[in-house]
Structure 1
């Protein structure tokens, strides 16, 4: 991107009161914006971007055969499902949890308000497993932090460590992530769907790991095939996101018009992203060799969070192209 374009972007970020925005392309930091200097060293809640970090941990555990293959029924970890009156619950697999397609009757926010209700109970896992099925497992994506908590519980059980301990050994230490904070449920299991607090630069490192297809400093932390598989579109996402869903990653695309030949079709540029409530993003754009991180904290002023990547950065990329 040209310096003039970046100047206009910085102006927009300032106007939107964006907390932070980092853009790395071809291994070079081309924008590092913070509203306040202290933001560089502050831990901040990344909300549901936590889900994509959990996806990485489950991927690592599957690669290392600590967690069984993704088509394994979760009955193996939750034997109480054998007593459930609905036999279809015994068909739910680890992959169904990862793709939010377990089939539970769930409304994350609004309506049933399943997530706030879950978080007020004394046993989140019991609450999730006791929900009736509204769909056959594997047929429809319904956004659910309950699925994420089941995954975190499976990971804790399989590796014999807390989720955070496993994360420190397998992910944080190799990436040089030295400080974090991670909330837990009433059973002491780290929250799978939210609750991780990181610095913006450490969010960027996580995005770079995925851009590098799981490779880091000569080590393969996640197998390439696993990264590619887990970030592909499995199922169309429920509104309001016009996107698809992979293994706890959102996937989308934008159109590029070459402008050279009016008869030529526009090319579609694929990207995938971690998304947290209130405008927290880790965006990976492989064809541009780019990672974008955004954190925001001004979303409570009756203002819809802005998708800064889609609304402001994509137009600059198209100009550049």
Structure 2
């Protein structure tokens, strides 16, 4: 560690990334840095927004390992046998699990109907009714909120359990991650309080009990780092295979690309587009699980929500890696 660079790093945090609640740096599986800001402590749990998507990807891999899901090539409607295809609708019948994982499924909305979504009783049914339309299957279309819930429905329908229960047994408990309960909000005010809280542990769900797919999970920086280290270890934790190495590799290689920003995408993971191999889970407000496989480094950042944060990946590459990797050049 370079103390001079760590001092510089913390000055940059205070100046340009002042909404950070906590940050953890692991190198070769060892904790090199764990620090909290803005009154946060190791006991705090912060809403990590779209980092939730990458956790969902891990769970899909586990469900496949256990035989609940046969293949990413399975049609989405295979998991919803009671869904009635409307007359003239063809696109939805050809959409696969892989299209959902790679953000290459089309939807019927031009502008996401967030108010209707948040006030619906069943996020999965609401979103499934928006799947398809006239868009082209295979074109990258990132869906921040309305889309990933279909994957939650697929997990629940295939495993016969809620996403929270499946995750608790097969991912959270083995890694020592504490997520207290499913959370159903009774009002807009309750949800907004969750978004800004640092002491609510849980995973958001709709009134029907469907856990959210694209947002809604609260974690600590240590929890987030554990997920990154799990993937860096090829799915192994304390000698136990939690998720198959083949899934960790397949889900963190490029399957699609957001051409507008030249960002490669895996299965709900963002892929490093530079010479060093790596991948990231990224959530609104600057929440990040960053994995550099070349340097065997994991960086997790949990952030208090604010709009228009500065690029966290650039921050990690410019300041964090140089401070904690003696071979950095």
Bin for the TM-score computed over the shorter chain: 0.7 to 0.9
Query: SS at 2:214's partner residue?
Result: coil
- Give distance in 2, aligned partners of 1:101 and 1:196: 24
Which residue is equivalent to 1:211? 232
Quote how far apart the aligned CAs of 1:6 are. 1.5
> Which of 70, 73, 87 does residue 72 from structure 2 map onto?
70
| CA positional deviation for 1:59 | 0.6
CA contact (8 A) 2:124 2:152 kept: no
**Aligned position for 2:296:** 289
1:86 alignment counterpart:
89
2: CA distance between counterparts of 1:187 and 1:313?
Answer: 42
Q: What's the secondary structure of 1:168's corresponding residue?
A: helix
In the TM superposition, residue 315 of structure 1 has moved relative to its aligned partner by 5.4
Residues 135-154 of structure 1: pairs in structure 2 closer than 5 A: 135-154=135-154
Q: Which runs of 5+ in 1 are unaligned?
A: 255-267
Contact 2:124 2:210 (8 Å CA) reproduced: no
The within-5 A match list for 1:228-267 is 228-237=249-258, 239=260, 241-254=261-274
Which structure would you say has the larger RCO, counting Cα contacts within 8 Å and 6 or more residues apart? 2
- Structure 1 residue 176: deviation in Å? 0.7
For residue 67 of structure 1, give the secondary structure of its aligned residue in structure 2: coil
Aligned residues: 300
Q: Deviations over 1:29-80 (max 9, x none)?
A: 2221211464210111011100000100011001111122110001112232
Task: Indicate conservation of the 8 Å contact 2:112/2:146, yes or no.
Answer: no
Q: 2:318 corresponds to which residue?
A: 314
Q: Does 1:123 align with 2:122?
A: yes
Residue 198 in structure 1 maps to residue 219 in structure 2: yes
The alpha carbon displacement at 1:248 in A equals 0.8
Given that 1:141 and 1:238 are in contact with CA atoms closer than 8 Å, whether structure 2 keeps it comes out as: no
Change (3 A) 1:224 1:162: same
Q: What is the alpha-carbon distance in structure 2 between the residues aligned to residue 142 and residue 196 of structure 1?
A: 19
2:248 equivalent to 1:227: yes
Are 1:45 and 1:196, in contact at CA under 8 Å, matched by a contact in 2? yes
The 8 Å contact of residues 75 and 81 in structure 1, kept in 2 or not, is answered as no
Q: 1:60 aligns with which of 59, 62, 65?
A: 62
- Separation in structure 2 between the aligned mates of residue 309 and residue 123 of structure 1, nearest angstrom: 35
CA RMSD of aligned residues (A): 2.1
Q: CA deviation at 1:144?
A: 4.4
Tell me the secondary structure at the aligned position of residue 24 of structure 1: strand
How far apart are the structure 2 equivalents of 1:283 and 1:65? 29
Of the candidates 268, 272, 277, which is equivalent to residue 279 of structure 2? Answer: 272
1:159 aligned onto 2:159: yes
TM-score (norm 1): 0.86
